[in-house]
Structure 1
Amino acid sequence: MMKTVKVIEDYQACYPDPVTFSEGDRLMLGKSDDEFPGWIWVTATCGKEGWAPLPLIRRLSQNQGTAIEDYTARELSVSVGEDLKILREINAWAWVENRQKHMGWVPVSKFVEG
């Protein structure tokens, strides 16, 4: 059963043109995220850049990796009081769906169960 949560703090999506990649894509790996451990800055073959969770990447060298599954860095802007369904959680972020069926990443700190 999917967990439903309630937003306790507004969150505004930061990246209007998110990086996306597909399983098997080669990725250039950059800096690690100091605020959210387990996330790394990636550059996809199309040139788009953004944060991606390390568990979805097989590191080939210090600055190269391969995607082990499809991914989009699309974030979801949310407001206090909204109900969300958690579809997946990785490294302090959750892939969620709102009542309008929009999906995206939101920091786990922005909601509580219930």
Structure 2
Amino acid sequence: MQARLRRDYRPVNRDPIAFKAGERVVLGERDTEWPEFIMATDPRGKRGWVHQDRLDGDLAVRDYDARELEANAGDVVHLLELAGGWWWAENQIGECGWLPERDLDIDPGIK
């Protein structure tokens, strides 16, 4: 499925949390705006928001990377996975990252 960006999107965190399945994380508070996300600290000490489906308690059950995709209004991206109002997306040059669904016009017919 494809989508077009409604507005420019710039990542908030340039050094995001990332972990592999089987690693343990330290859990913090739940996000009030995006309630499916929990603040966590990875084994390397990086903090960030993690979608709850990546965790079973403090154990990672799936690989995760909180990298956000930098994109400009009008860019077309390929949508790969939806989690809590955010899409894991790939741009035209193969870069991947998360984009908020509210900034996307989703249309499977976009070329």
Q: Which one of the candidate residues 52, 55, 72 is aligned to 1:54?
A: 52
Q: Distance in 1 between matches of 2:20 and 2:55?
A: 11
Asked if 1:92 corresponds to 2:90, the answer is no
Counting only pairs closer than 5 Å after superposition, residues 1-114 of structure 1 correspond to structure 2 as: 3-59=1-57, 65-114=58-107
Identity %: 32
Moved segments of 4+, more than 2 Å: none
Deviations 1:67-94 (A, max 9, x none): 0011100001111100000010000000
Report the TM-score, using the length of structure 1 for normalisation: 0.91
Query: Could you list the runs of 5+ residues in structure 2 that have no partner in the other structure?
Result: none
Whose strand fraction is larger, Structure 1's or Structure 2's? 1
Query: Could you list the runs of 5+ residues in structure 1 that have no partner in the other structure?
Result: 60-64
Q: SS of the counterpart of 1:96?
A: strand
Q: SS of the counterpart of 1:109?
A: helix
